[in-house]
Chain A
Amino acid sequence: MTEKAQDMNVDQGVVTVDADPFSPEALRNPYPLWAQLRDAGPVVWIPKYGYYLMARHAEVQAAQQNWQNFTTSGGAGMSDIRKPGAWRKPGPIVEVDPPDHTKIRKVVNAIVSPVVVRGWRERFQRDANALVDGLLQTGRFDGVRDVAEAYVLKVFPESMGIDLNREQAIAVGDLNFNSLGPNNELVQKSREQVAPFIEWWEESLKGQTMKPGGFGEKLFLAERAGELAPGLASGLTMTFLRGGLDTTISSIGSALWLLAAHPDQWQLLKQDPALVRGVFEETLRLESPIKTNFRTTRGECTMAGITLKDDTKVQLLLGSANRDPRKWSEPDAFDIRRATAGHVALGTGIHACVGQMIARLEFDCVLNALLAKVERIELDGTPRHRMSNALHTLDELPLRVHAHA
């Protein structure tokens, strides 16, 4: 990898780094490259793909907050969805700017408002308790398959009012997050996996199958009432599935891994269960489920005193920003008492995660259930992370727990 101060294509001040953030090596272990990219400069040019990249906390956060200059309307991934040959339509809320975004967000905010989500707590906690009771039968289980996936793929679809096939949901999620990156082997492979059922999948999300009382139905009712434009409800249903499943599964899986690997932190949590909130935030910071996403420059704009050209993709490395030593002391350490305010895992500004109170509730209930019954939690084998362009998640997490005497 080489660095040079200037490139024919880019403005002065932007350091060119001849690296591929999506190479198999970088996907397997991104941390050395992330450190190199952070140290190279506040804004970096990646010639392989012809886009800017931000790896430091300050610039990633500033770009998230500046939708005027760093729009999502060109798509949250590497390819520009507005350009000829685009293979998909814009997401109906994530990839839309104000003023349209403001109206849609308001409707969605009301449908999954904090008050609504709080009303699910009893059911969510009951389900988490039942799940943990089941695990304690043997005390050995997989933290991803048997806890994170089993739980999230039960309570989230139920709240939405939809039946989901577990393997299909995971395969679609895999494709969604791979699609944020380049059209590489990972995309091809996940596309092949969903091919047999993707048509049925999309059809089943068009409203007919939404059960009464779920928030999915409420989206369609809002559309019928004219609060959402025609066609938007089914798109928003997809958005919720895209944003609400794999990310939360990732956060629960990573937290179990971190707590098993750091018994001192588990002890702190046992002594003060109110620290569950700290575990959630610190897990998102350290093991950010969405490693990366993209914006597109709108107009010539400046960042950290550097001029960026118009209509160019900008890769935001959320996982790197959340481990930037310029922002965090001992950034690679897992510390559930850390002041985590300002991490960028859920986004900030107008596109901040709209379902974050749902994720918090799921996380809270699972950890509460474990804390109530489990004395010790430990690794029972080697955890395995998934290869993905944009999602950071475990696929396997063998665990062993010891119940309270």
Chain B
Amino acid sequence: MPKIVFVKDDGSRAEVEAAVGASAMDAAIAHGVTGIIAECGGSAACGTCHVYVESPELSRLGALTDNEDNLLGFTAADRLPNSRLSCQIIMSAELDGMVLRIPDRQI
């Protein structure tokens, strides 16, 4: 299974396995990674699974949908060029090792 490295606000790192086809948010929740809230359960409606993609995998992610783009306008922490909603990052083998930084707040 591909791995994701979540980097928290305090600098601590959590390396978790993610099932291919599941979202990065799913992997975070399944492994109890704190800082990803996902209030809406992964339907890209709440903006509380915001992450910064800190590795070259950013270029391998699909383009933002209008909806994700919209919601990233309402995140609690600042939107940066590498901001994504982790519920919209669908895991594949080529995303193995992706580093996702979790913002200091989601609400």
Contact = CB atoms under 8 A, between A and B. Distances in A.
Contact of A352 (B39, B45, B107): B45
Contacts of B40: 356-357, 360
B35 interface: no
B47 interface: yes
A105 interface: yes
A357 B66 contact: no
A118 B76 CA distance: 11
B41 A105 contact: no
A114 B43 contact: no
B14 interface: no
B74 A352 contact: no
Given A109-B71, A114-B47, A115-B74, A277 B39 contact: yes
Contacts of B73: 110, 113
B29 to A, nearest CB: 9
Contact of A102 (B47, B66, B107): B66
Interface in B50-68: 66-67
Nearest to A278: B41
B41 A341 contact: yes
Given A113-B74, A115-B74, A118-B107, A356 B45 contact: yes
Interface string B22-49: 0000100000000000011111111110
B46 to A, nearest CB: 5
A110 B80 CA distance: 19
B70 interface: yes
Nearest to A356: B45
B43 A348 contact: yes
A106 interface: yes
Given A114-B46, A114-B47, A341-B26, A352 B67 contact: yes
Interface residues of B, number: 19
A114 B48 contact: yes
A350 interface: yes
Nearest to B45: A356
B35 to A, nearest CB: 15
A98 B67 CA distance: 12
Nearest to A355: B45
Contacts of B47: 114
A312 interface: no
B66 A356 contact: no
B1 to A, nearest CB: 17
Q: Quick one: which of B26, B43, B70 has the most chain A CB within 10 A?
A: B43
A286 to B, nearest CB: 15
Interface residues on chain A, size class: 20 to 34
Interface in A338-365: 340-341, 346, 348, 350, 352-353, 356-357, 360
Interface in A306-322: none
A246 interface: no
A368 to B, nearest CB: 14
Contacts of A346: 43, 45
A349 to B, nearest CB: 8
B36 to A, nearest CB: 13
Contacts of A149: none
A109 B70 CA distance: 8
Contacts of B39: 114, 277, 357, 360
B73 to A, nearest CB: 8
B66 A352 contact: no
A4 to B, nearest CB: 36
B67 A350 contact: yes
A341 B42 contact: yes
Nearest to A117: B46
Contacts of B107: 118
B86 to A, nearest CB: 13
Nearest to B76: A115
A356 B41 CA distance: 11
B64 to A, nearest CB: 13
A89 B76 CA distance: 38
28 contacts: A98-B66, A102-B66, A105-B67, A105-B70, A106-B66, A109-B70, A109-B71, A110-B74, A114-B45, A114-B46, A114-B47, A277-B41, A281-B41, A341-B41, A346-B43, A346-B45, A348-B43, A352-B44, A352-B45, A352-B67, A356-B40, A356-B43, A357-B39, A357-B40, A357-B45, A357-B46, A360-B40, A360-B46
Given A341-B41, A357-B40, 14 more contacts: A98-B66, A106-B70, A109-B71, A110-B73, A113-B73, A113-B74, A115-B76, A340-B41, A341-B26, A341-B42, A350-B67, A352-B45, A356-B45, A357-B45
